[in-house]
Amino acid sequence: MMGFSLGSVLMSLGMRSEADQVSVDAITLFVGLLCTCIIIGHLLEKNKWINESITALTIGLCTGIVLLLTTEGRRSHILVFNEELFFIYVLPPIIFNAGFQVKKKQFFRNFMTITLFGVVGTLISFFIISLGSAQLFKMLNDVGFLEMGDYFALGAIFSATDSVCTLQVLNQDETPLLYSLVFGEGVVNDATSVVLFNTLQRFDLSHTTSGIATQFAGSLCSLFFTSTLLGVAVGLLSAYIIKKLYFGRHSTDREVALMILMAYLSYMMAELFSLSGILTVFFCGIVMSHYTWHNVTENSRVTTKHAFATMSFISEIFIFLYVGMDALDIEKWSAVSKSPGTSVGVSTILLGLIVLGRAAFVFPLSFISNLTRKSPDDKIGFKQQVTIWWAGLMRGAVSMALAYNKFASSGHTQIRGNAIMITSTISIVLFCTVVFGLVTKPLIRFLLPLRKPLSSMVESELSSPKFLMLPLLQNGHDREVAMNGQNSTTLPLLQNGQDPEVAMNGQNGTTHPRSLCMLLTTPAHSVHYYWRKFDNAFMRPVFGGRGFVQRIPGSPTETVVS
């Protein structure tokens, strides 16, 4: 929003210099392309192969080609890929929205598995890619000079699963378990990769000792803990402030602005303290949807829900369009054009290692995870393991950003070895997004056809319209009241009532007594049971949340219900 200054460029008024015009040009073109992507994406929505990211990537590539031809090869991209832009402005809305809209029950139920995949799995993948590339690159003649640190950096870069891509191919409503596992892993995994990457830049890796390993493990744990804590703290602060300030006045704009700004603040504070902003803003989103969201007015709820989703949507398309347009940067490709074989070799080796590295942890860790799950319904089946393995293979903008950070200096690269690494990263990202993206949707449909394993319970409730209105029914009532008395007097509010945490509480308010009993009696859920008791007794009275916000007479809800 404000971290930029185009040096001495005076802009937009009078005295337009050459540089100005280009900048206005670029923004106009880019915004126009974003619109085009949305429209074409909408038209292709029913297509079972193509998803929105492929559309954006293709449009970006085509634009890159057109620019390449019109400018006669001088510059194919209008903007160099910029990690700052990506990490400061584009990524936070996506991850925040993911936290805000995630089905919290599914997420926390699988918390241990997600952490296992996200931390241990990423480490396994990291070592396989690092050591594998160190060995295999020797077969290629002219990769250029790479130190051990560079191989470790490659490992960190390519162990970052693209959570944005994952969101595009998996559907939260169709396969909730898989979604929460793969996406949750993606968030933790991104954080792990970034930490790995940062730590590697700091430590001297020429002589690895056990001391460094311990130090590293310690810094990883403390980072996860503090990042999560910061996100939760900012989320609770926002809930407390809005609960205290809410007096039933017409303050929708203020509430929405405060939620957006505090979410962003949590991310920036994490970055400032060298924590993982991704983890922080994700947990801030979860806390906000659990407490803050229930403290605001009806209109604010609808607005925040859709405004966050829209911001995330625009950011996602932005990334793919951007990667597509940047892929044809002639400068980088000309550096590797003399030895195309090497570049292809590097890409192939890395791609193979990614596939292998992921297989090496998904299947063993799923086995370990299954040992802790008693109910056979809860176990991760083999077909699901294959899906997890496959869906997490995609590499995207996080890998791009890390690669640019390591191997390029402000987007321009001269040394040949670095150029090869950058172009290989671009090739892998393009290949993953297009090929894996095209295949994943049909693959999931093939592997898990109509079975709706594990998810049938949640899904059947979600698809019933009665269920959707429950959250609003509970306004001003206790949760238990709503659970027993499901009258449908508030049907007219239906379109407002799409609660972002619908799945979490919905299962308690279900009409299936079987699943309800199971939920409360199964020992695996006792943590959740005590959390609910604690939440109701201590947290909600302070921070608000469903049923704990006093309704002001004369507020819209009140008018309707009475």
Among 205, 258, 288, 426, binds its own copies (CB under 8 A): 258
Contact (CB, 8 A) for 353 and 129: yes
Site membership for its own copies, residue 203 (CB under 8 A): no
Restricting to residues 341-360, name those near its own copies by CB under 8 A: none
Residues 398, 425: Cα–Cα separation, whole Å: 11
Residue of 2, 371, 450, 537 interacting with its own copies (CB under 8 A): 2
* Cα–Cα distance, 140 to 210 (Å, whole number): 32
Candidate residues 302, 330, 430, 438; the one interacting with its own copies per rule CB under 8 A? 302
Give how far Cα 385 sits from Cα of 58, 320, 382, 444, Å.
Answer: 30, 27, 5, 11
CA distances from 307 to 100, 256, 276, 301, 425 (A): 11, 9, 24, 10, 33
Nearer Cβ to its own copies (45/377):
45
Residue 320 interacting with its own copies (CB under 8 A): no
The sign of the torsion formed by the CA atoms of 177, 180, 186, 191 equals negative
Q: Does 299 bind its own copies (CB under 8 A)?
A: yes
Nearer to its own copies, 380 or 469 (CB): 469
Binding mask 402-421 for its own copies (x = CB under 8 A): x--xx--xxx----------
Least distance in angstroms from the C-beta of 337 to its own copies: 26
The two tokens of residue 334 are 């000309």
Reduced to 3 states, what is the DSSP secondary structure of residue 409?
strand
What distance in Å separates the CA atoms of residue 189 and residue 115, rounded to the nearest whole number? Answer: 9
Which residue from 65, 69, 71, 84 is in contact with its own copies, where contact means CB under 8 A?
A: 84
Residues 482-511 that bind its own copies (CB under 8 A): 491-496
* CA 70 from centroid of its chain's CA atoms: 36
Q: What are phi and psi of 537, to 5 degrees?
A: -80, -35
Rounded least distance, CB 277 to its own copies, Å: 8
Sign of the torsion angle spanned by Cα atoms 454, 458, 459, 461: positive
Q: Is 219 in the site for its own copies (CB under 8 A)?
A: no
Which parts of 518-557 interact with its own copies (CB under 8 A)? 556-557
Q: Which stretch binds its own copies (CB under 8 A): 4-12, 64-72, 363-371, 509-517?
A: 4-12
Return the range that interacts with its own copies (CB under 8 A); candidates 114-122, 249-257, 343-351, 358-366.
249-257
- List residues bridging with 409 in a β-sheet: 412
Query: What helix, strand, coil percent values describe the chain, rounded to 5?
Result: 75, 0, 25
Question: Is 252 an interacting residue with respect to its own copies (CB under 8 A)?
Answer: yes
Tell the smallest beta-carbon distance from residue 285 to its own copies (Å). Answer: 16
- Interacting positions 12-71 with its own copies (CB under 8 A): 12-16, 21, 23-28, 30-32, 34-35, 38-39, 41-43, 45
Site residues for its own copies, window 167-186 (CB under 8 A)? Answer: none
Phi, psi angle pair for 409, to nearest 5° = -110, 110
